[in-house]
Amino acid sequence: MRTIAPGATLGMLGGGQLGRMTALAAARLGYRTHVLTHEAEGPCAQVAAEATIVTDYTDRAALTRFAAAVDVVTLEWENIPTEAVAFLAERVPVHPGAGVLAVAQDRLREKGFANALGIGTAPFRAVRDVAGLADAVAALGTPSVLKSTRMGYDGKGQVRLAPGTDLAAAWAEMGAPEGILEGWVDFALEVSVIVARREDGEMAAWPAVENRHRAGILDETLAPADIAPSVAAEADRIARALAEALGVVGLLAVEMFVTRDGTVLVNEIAPRPHNSGHWTMDFAETCQFEQLVRAVCGLPLGPTGIRAPARMKNLIGDEVAQWPALLAEPGAKLHLYGKAQARPGRKMGHVNRPR
């Protein structure tokens, strides 16, 4: 396994807040960060060591320049085109690889991959048109959730179906050429586990945390989750099994449902830092962003214990205006992303507090 020593340059695909916080963690370990993104003036550009390359991810000339300027590449957004990742991987180490992204980008492949490992998910059906949606509803019933197979996040591309829902209108609202209908899961709570994995197979995971959503967007994370030890152990086992089977190098976040009888079902995976891991910045022995740098550079993984129980609260839209009070609040740790405009549903920062 190759070790990329401090002093090297980390290439970041994507220029959002996850890239920003990774770049800051990389700098503390002595690495520079160079960014390639399709969006100008993103949060990561503000802290990058080199001028950001702003271009389409399929721009091969730009990708070639980027590869020549960095020593290893990672990403903060799993929807980078797999063709771009494969092209870069011919020139420089890229973690995670195109094969991991091919699974994580497609909800049908994601759930099928988990099921092939014997890991449970919600029941699901592929849907390609309104007639197919009607067949899927007949099989799975309502309530159920129609989702786009690709690109959906923070509640986007998702429509909840109830008895009597106009299926043609739901299909139009979902707004994608292919969808997945998921049967409703009567869950007690939602949890996630983030696991780090190096190229040699070494893994380290943080304890399971509880995630609470509002309007389809993560609102709060409580660390650790208040679940039975057996449930926590099963969530940890599932996350490690998926990371191993996928061959992830870096981080894998696994979002899961815990049903009322204690069954753990996978909902979604993300091979990158995750919003539900932001609490680690102030209340874990190693934060998720530093751990990503350690994993992709072949450094020893850091310990993942909890220093103290914590609560992470996202600052969404105008909630960021609370920053003066949050800075004055004893024990609160404020993290702002440097975004110029607060819009409804936009994550502007977060605050970590002890519980």
- Tens of pLDDT, residue by residue over 95-105, are 999 999 999 99
Q: Is the pLDDT of residue 352 over 90?
A: yes
Residues of the chain with CATH 3.40.50.20: 9-95
Instruction: Output the pLDDT for position 51.
Output: 85
Cα(217)–Cα(212) distance, integer angstroms: 9
Residues of the binding site for ATP: 107, 147, 152-158, 182-185, 190, 213, 267-268
Instruction: Output the pLDDT for position 40.
Output: 85
Three-class DSSP category at 353? strand
| CATH of range 123-183; options 3.40.1280.10, 1.10.260.40, 3.30.1490.20, 3.40.1000.10 | 3.30.1490.20
**Banded model confidence at residue 158, pLDDT cuts 50, 70, 90:** confident
pLDDT tens readout for residues 23-68 = 999 999 999 999 999 988 899 999 999 889 999 999 999 999 999 9
Residues of the chain with CATH 3.30.470.20: 187-354
pTM of this structure: 0.95
Cα(353)–Cα(221) distance, integer angstroms: 11
Instruction: Output the pLDDT for position 152.
Output: 64
| H helical segments located in 75-128 | 82-89, 98-104, 107-116
* Token pair belonging to 258: 């815990």
How is domain 9-95 classified at the architecture level of CATH?
A: 3-Layer(aba) Sandwich (3.40)
Residues 6+ apart with CB under 8 A from 178: 126, 127, 128, 148, 149, 150
CB atoms < 10 A from the CB of 18, how many? 26
Instruction: Output the pLDDT for position 144.
Output: 94
Tell me the CATH number for domain 187-354. 3.30.470.20
CA–CA distance from 140 to each of 126, 134, 266, 284 (Å)?
12, 10, 18, 41
Q: Is the pLDDT of residue 71 over 80?
A: yes
Identify the residue whose tokens are 């190096």: 198
pLDDT tens readout for residues 299-332 = 999 999 999 999 999 999 999 999 999 999 999 9
- Mean pLDDT calculated for residue range 179-197: 96
* φ/ψ of residue 124, rounded to 5: -150, 160
pLDDT tens readout for residues 106-154 = 999 999 999 999 999 999 999 999 999 999 999 999 999 999 998 766 5
Residues 6+ apart with CB under 8 A from 9: 31, 32, 33, 34, 49, 50, 69, 70, 71
Residues of the binding site: 107, 147, 152-158, 182-185, 190, 213, 267-268
pLDDT above 90 covers a percentage of the chain that reads 93
Q: Is the pLDDT of residue 169 over 80?
A: yes
